[in-house]
Amino acid sequence: MAQIYTAECVSPKHPDKICDQLADAVLDTCLKQDKKSRAAIEVMGGHNKIVFMGEITSKAQINYQLIVHDFLGPEASKYKIIENVVRQSPEISHSVDNGGAGDQGIMIGYACDENKAYIPQEYYLARSLCQFIYKRNPTDGKTQITLSDKKIISLVASFQDIKKENLEKLIQQFLKENHLKADNIYANQAGDWNIGGFEADTGLTGRKIVIDSYGPRVPVGGGAFSGKDPTKVDRSGAYMARKIALDYLKKYKAHEVLVRLAYVIGYDQPLMVQVICDGRIKNIEGYDLRPRAIIKRFNLLSPIYKKVAAWGSFGHNFSWER
């Protein structure tokens, strides 16, 4: 029976992705001024309003209007900025100051040998197509690829401010350059559209956690990345899990590796560590899985996160993949 997989990707101008990037831009601002900053920021935007909500403990001076302007440019002036940000709970802060994880949770790492990015092929193609179109038409947009036994049986692309026939030409160019074929192509299937981003829809941080990870073929731990400083193992633990998956893929010349970690708030060691190579459980050794050690190993107190938020955390040669 044929294996069928589907994955999607959204452009950085998609309303949810705008929110992810704004949240991580706040985090970057904090880390540039104060490496000890703690942040857990959520952003909701749409229809001339942008809301920043959450907790920050930092010496940094944060100008939310400037952050929005740096991202949205001149059109930022039409947005009313609403801030409701408080300090991190001292009860949470105490546990993290002692080196413990900033929260409980499950983190997933994954790697496979299907392409140069070591991510599922349907997700790799959906993201590559989205990046290809976005580079030539940097607007709100989505792509989706369905594979059946590695063959593209459907390709979907929907982008703002581009006519259907021009979008189809870009798709054909992408296919030709990558020596690919698609059985069915759906370009702006609902018609051409010119209203996108926050004008068309409301965006929210953390609503694209599957796209931020490996696509729907691979399970997610449940926690979002954007807006969270790396003491939150939702983020740093997931990066460590990816590193382990890549190492074991190469070590055992495997086709597919899945890593699961689980942490509890206030404790510096994972409660679960599991590595599965091609369906077989392997022992794990040689890794320091304390949150502080992960942060130091990958230099996670650097202001890199807005860039990470644009296209997802994996398959871009970030520090946790080198």
Question: At 16, is the pLDDT very low, low, confident or very high (cuts 50, 70, 90)?
Answer: very high
Question: At 284, is the pLDDT very low, low, confident or very high (cuts 50, 70, 90)?
Answer: confident
**Lowest mean pLDDT: which of 9-23, 99-113, 129-143?**
99-113
Comparing CA positions, the residue from 47, 55, 46 lying closest to residue 16 is 46
For position 233, what pLDDT does the model report?
94
For position 183, what pLDDT does the model report?
98
Which residues lie below 8 Å from residue 202, measured CB to CB, with a gap of 6+? 15, 44, 45, 46, 47
Q: What are 24-55's pLDDT values in tens digits?
A: 999 999 999 999 999 999 999 999 999 999 99
More confident residue, 265 or 94: 265
Class (C level, CATH) for 105-115+218-321: alpha beta
Q: In the numeric block, which tokens belong to residue 208?
A: 């694209």
Instruction: Say yes or no: do domains 4-9+121-198 and 16-95 share a fold.
Output: yes
For position 93, what pLDDT does the model report?
74
For position 217, what pLDDT does the model report?
97
CATH topology of domain 16-95: GMP Synthetase; Chain A, domain 3 (3.30.300)
What mean pLDDT value characterizes the chain? 95
For position 205, what pLDDT does the model report?
97
Q: Mean pLDDT across the stretch 156-163?
A: 98
Comparing CA positions, the residue from 137, 110, 11, 18 lying closest to residue 73 is 18
Q: Mean pLDDT across the stretch 162-186?
A: 98
3-state SS of the chain is: CCCEEEEEEECCCCHHHHHHHHHHHHHHHHHHHCCCCEEEEEEEEECCEEEEEEEEECCCCCCHHHHHHHHHHHHHHHCEEEEEEECCCHHHHHHHHCCCECCCEEEEEEEECCCCCCCCHHHHHHHHHHHHHHHHCCCCEEEEEEEECCEEEEEEEEECCCCHHHHHHHHHHHHHHCCCCECCEEECCCCCCCCCHHHHCCEECCCCHHHHCCCCCCCCCCCCCCCECCCCHHHHHHHHHHHHHHHHHHHCCCCEEEEEEEECECCCCCCEEEEEECCEEECCCCCCCCHHHHHHHHCCCCCCHHHHHHHCCCCCCCHHHC
For position 105, what pLDDT does the model report?
92
Question: At 299, is the pLDDT very low, low, confident or very high (cuts 50, 70, 90)?
Answer: very high
State the number of CA atoms in the 13 A half-sphere of 237 facing the CB: 32
Q: For 245, phi and psi rounded to 5 degrees? A: -60, -45
For position 97, what pLDDT does the model report?
74
For the chain, the domains span 4-9+121-198, 16-95, 105-115+218-321
Does the domain spanning 4-9+121-198 belong to CATH 3.30.300.10?
A: yes
pLDDT above 90 (res 90): no
More confident residue, 189 or 97: 189
For position 103, what pLDDT does the model report?
83
Question: At 120, is the pLDDT very low, low, confident or very high (cuts 50, 70, 90)?
Answer: very high
pLDDT above 80 (res 91): no
Q: Mean pLDDT across the stretch 133-153?
A: 97
Q: What are 206-231's pLDDT values in tens digits?
A: 999 999 999 999 999 989 999 999 99
Q: Mean pLDDT across the stretch 301-319?
A: 97
For position 141, what pLDDT does the model report?
98
Q: Mean pLDDT across the stretch 132-154?
A: 97
For position 96, what pLDDT does the model report?
77
